[in-house]
Chains A and B, each alone.
Chain A
Amino acid sequence: MLHALVLLPLLGALSAWIIPDNRLRPIVLPVVATIHGILTALLLGNAPLPSPDGWIWLDPLGKIVLLCISMLFAVCAFYAVGYLSYRQERSNRVLCVGLLVCLSAMSMVTMTQHLGLLWVAVETTTVSMAPLIYFNRNARSIEATWKYLLLCSVGIGLALLGLLFLAYSTYVADHHATLLLGPLMASARDLNPAWLHAATIFLLVGYGTKMGLAPLHAWKPDAYGEAPGLVGALLAGGLVNCAFLSILRVYQICLASGTEIRFFQQGLLVMGLISMAFAAVFMARQADFKRMLAYSSVEHVGILAIGLGLGKGALYGALFHMLNNGLTKGVLFLSSGNIHRSYSNKTTGVVRGALTRLPWSGGIFLAGFIAITGSPPFSPFISEFTIVSSAFIEGRYLVGALFLLFLVIVFIGMALTVLPMVMGTPPADIEPSDYEDRLLTVGPPLFMLMVILMFGIWPPVFLVSLLKDGAAMLGVQP
C-alpha cells in the first residue's frame, strides 16, 4: 500500500501527459488526490511494519508530514480544476504533470528511512517544481525560476556532501558505510566527531536553504511571489515540510550521538531567530501581497527551527506547527490567488476593498491572516503558544522574549498590508474581470480554514497521540 502512494501519482502524471484535452486534463488531479487521501487515512490508522531491509518505514514523523501533504495536495487539486478553467489560454500539461510527480516524490520523502533515497526524493521535488513557477511565462517569473533552481540545487548539493561525510564517518568507524537511519542512530556514539560535525554543518546549511531559513532564503520571496497561488501553497506547505522532515532526521542522528545535538540545536536557534527578524523587517510596508506571504513563510520556518532548537516540550509544538503552518499557507495562497486573478494585480496600491469585491475570497484571506499570525481560536495559536511557553519553562527567557517581540512586529507589519487590501472600497477605475468566486475556487481554502479551526478548538484524539509519538521519536519522555 505504501508503494501505491508513490506509484499512483506517477501513473496520474503519465495519464495527464497523454490526455490531449486542456479542459479534461486537470480532472486527473482531484482523482489522484482523493485516492491518495484515502490511502493516507488508511495508512495513518494502520501503518505496515518496516520493510525487511529497513529502507521503507512510515514512522510517526513521516505520518505527520504525509497527513499534511496529502490534505494540502487534495485541496490544491480541487482548486486547480477551478483555477485552470480561467487559464485555458495556455497549456496546463506541464503544470499537471509537475504537480503529480512532485506529489510522488513528497510521498517518498515521508516514508523512506534511507537518507540517500530521502535526498534523491527531495531533489526531485525541487526540480519538478521549477517549471511550475514559470507557469505565467513572463520575464519576472523566469527570473524567479532561475534563482529558485540555482540556489536550491546548490543548497541540496551541499546537503549531499553532508550525507557523504556522514556515510564516511560510519566507514571510518567500522568499515561499512551506511545511510540507513536505524543503524546510523545505533552507532551514532561511535562515529568520529570531526566527520559528524562537518556533516551536521553541511546538512543544516543544505536543507536550511531548501527550507528557506534566513540568511539562505533569497530565492523564496521571488519564487512565491511569481508562482501561481496553488504552486505557492505547495511550495510553502509541502516542500518546506519535506525539507523540515530531512532536518528532523539529522536531529535524530545528532540526538543519538549525544554530543552533536547541542551544536545542532544552537545552530537551529540562531537561524530561526534570524529568520524571524528578517521576516519582521521585510514584512513591514510590503506592497506585494504574495511576497508578503513568502516572508511569512520565512518567519514560520524560523518558528519551526526555534521549536526544534529549544527541544523538550517545544518539540510537540514544532511538530504541530509544521502541520498548522502548511495548512494555513494553503488557505492564504489559494485565496490570495483568487484576489490576484480578480484584480490582475498583486500590489496593495491597486488591490483594495477585496471584502466588497470578493466577499468570500477576501473573507477567507482575512481569516487566514488572523490564523497565521497566531491568534486564537485557530490552531497556529496553540502550537506557537506551546513553543513559547516551553521556552519560558526551560528558562530560555531571551529566546522567548525575542520570539514574542518578532511575532508582534510581524503581526503589525502584516496587518498594515492585509487590512487596507481587504477593507475599504475597491478603486473605481479598476477593470472588470472574468473571475468570480465559485465553489471550486472558494470551497478548497474554506475547507482548509475549517480544518485549522477544528484543530485549534478541538484537536482530534488521533492527531494528539500521533504528535506525541512523533515528539517521543525526538527524545521527549512521554
Chain B
Amino acid sequence: MNLFADQLLVLVMLINLVMLGTSRLIFSIRAVAVQGVILGILPGLIHPFSTHLATITAVIILAKGVAIPYLINEAVRKAHIRREVEPFIGYVPTLLLGAVFTALSFVFAEQLPLAPEHKDLLFVPASIATLLTGFLLLTTRRKAISQVIGYLVMENGIFLFGLLLSEAMPFMVEAGALLDLLVGIFVMGIVINQISREFSSIDTSRLSALKEE
C-alpha cells in the first residue's frame, strides 16, 4: 500500500510541474481537481479502514474534486477568458524554479524526523513542493483566476501533510477547515466577477490604484 501511496504522491508532484507549464486555465482547473481526488484517496491507503476515514475521503473528494473546481469553472465562464497571458515570469523559468523547489523540499524534509510508520513515505517533500508550487503560481501569474488556482494548490500542499494526521484529527476541525476553504473560494469567485465587471478584465496588474505616492 505504501508503494502505491508513494506513486500517487509522485503524481501530485508531476501535476505541480504540469500546472506551472500550462497557460490553459481549464486545464489547470482540471489538474487541481485531480490533485483533490488523489488527496481524498490517500488517507485510505495509509490508515486502517474506519467510518471516520471513509467520511473524510468522501468529504475531501466532494469539496476538492468537485465543488471547488466547479466554482472556479463558473468564474472562468462568466469572465470569458481561456488563457493566462504573459505571466510576470515566463513558463519555462517558472518550470525550472518549480523543479528546483521540488528538489529543495526533499532536502528540507530530511531535517524533519517522521514517525517510524511514515518513514518510507513521501508526504513531507510532496507537501512542501506543492506548497511552494502554489506560491510560484500566486506570485508569477497575472490573472485573478490563476492566483486563486495557486492558492488552491498551496492549500492542497497543506492538506497533503494533514493526511498523515487524518486519523487523529477531530472530524469537526477538518470539516470546518474545508468549509472555510469552500466559502473562501466562493467569495473569491464573486470578487473575480466584480473585478471583471469593473475593469473589463481580470488582470490583477490593473489593480494598482492603491499605493503610496
Contacts and interface: CB of A to CB of B under 8 A. Distances in A.
Interface string A171-203: 110011111000000000000101100100000
B172 A154 contact: no
A156 B199 CA distance: 28
A117 B187 contact: no
A127 B173 contact: no
Given A116-B173, A157-B151, A134 B191 contact: yes
B210 A144 contact: yes
A127 B180 contact: yes
Contact residues of B: prevailing secondary structure: helix
A213 B210 CA distance: 19
B117 to A, nearest CB: 9
B93 interface: no
Interface residues of A, number: 52
Interface in B88-110: none
Contacts of B190: 131
Interface in A128-148: 130-131, 134, 137-140, 142-147
Given A114-B173, A154-B151, A168-B165, A143 B131 contact: no
A22 interface: no
B210 A140 contact: yes
A416 to B, nearest CB: 15
Interface in B131-162: 131, 138, 144, 147, 151, 154-155, 157-158, 161-162
Given A146-B195, A179-B173, A282-B212, A172 B158 contact: no
Contacts of B194: 134, 137, 142
Given A144-B210, A153-B184, A164 B161 contact: yes
Nearest to B127: A161
Nearest to A105: B180
A119 interface: yes
Nearest to B123: A168
A164 B209 contact: no
Contact of A167 (B168, B195, B204): B168
User: Interface size for chain B: under 10, 10 to 19, 20 to 34, or 35 or more residues?
Assistant: 35 or more
Interface stretch (A219-227, A299-307, A376-384, A456-464): A219-227
Contact of A287 (B165, B204, B213): B213
A225 B210 contact: yes
A426 B35 CA distance: 60
Given A149-B188, A194-B112, A142 B170 contact: no
Given A140-B209, A142-B198, A172 B113 contact: yes
Contacts of A164: 158, 161-162, 165
Contacts of B112: 194-195, 198
A120 B115 contact: no
A157 B183 contact: no
A356 B108 CA distance: 62
A146 B165 contact: no
A149 B204 CA distance: 13
Nearest to A126: B184
Contact of B191 (A119, A146, A171, A179): A146
A403 B207 CA distance: 35
Interface string A88-129: 000000000000000000000000001011011001101100
A119 B213 contact: no
Given A114-B173, A142-B191, A167 B210 contact: no
A195 B109 CA distance: 11
Contacts of A149: 184, 187-188, 191
A120 B169 contact: no
B195 to A, nearest CB: 6
A144 B207 CA distance: 9
Given A142-B195, A150-B147, A154-B154, A175 B212 contact: no
B165 A177 contact: yes
B187 A119 contact: no
Interface string B193-213: 011001100001001111011
A349 B108 CA distance: 52
A157 B173 contact: no
A265 B57 CA distance: 39
A146 B193 CA distance: 11
B73 to A, nearest CB: 19
Nearest to B199: A139
B48 interface: no
Contact of A116 (B157, B161, B169): B169
Given A123-B177, A172-B114, A161 B210 contact: no
Contacts of A222: 210
A334 B156 CA distance: 40
Contact of B169 (A167, A221, A226): A167
B81 interface: no
Contacts of B138: 150, 154
Contacts of B187: 127, 130-131, 149
B41 to A, nearest CB: 19
B111 interface: yes
A160 interface: yes
A172 B173 contact: no
13 contacts: A117-B173, A119-B177, A139-B209, A140-B210, A142-B191, A146-B207, A149-B184, A150-B151, A161-B158, A167-B165, A177-B169, A195-B113, A225-B210
Query: Which A-B residue pairs are the 7 nearest by beta carbons?
Result: A177-B168, A116-B173, A120-B176, A143-B207, A123-B180, A222-B210, A161-B158
Interface of A: 114, 116-117, 119-120, 123-124, 126-127, 130-131, 134, 137-140, 142-147, 149-150, 153-154, 157-158, 160-161, 164-165, 167-168, 171-172, 175-179, 192, 194-195, 198, 221-222, 225-226, 282, 286-287
Given A127-B183, A194-B112, A225-B210, 8 more contacts: A138-B198, A144-B210, A146-B207, A154-B151, A164-B158, A168-B161, A178-B168, A286-B212
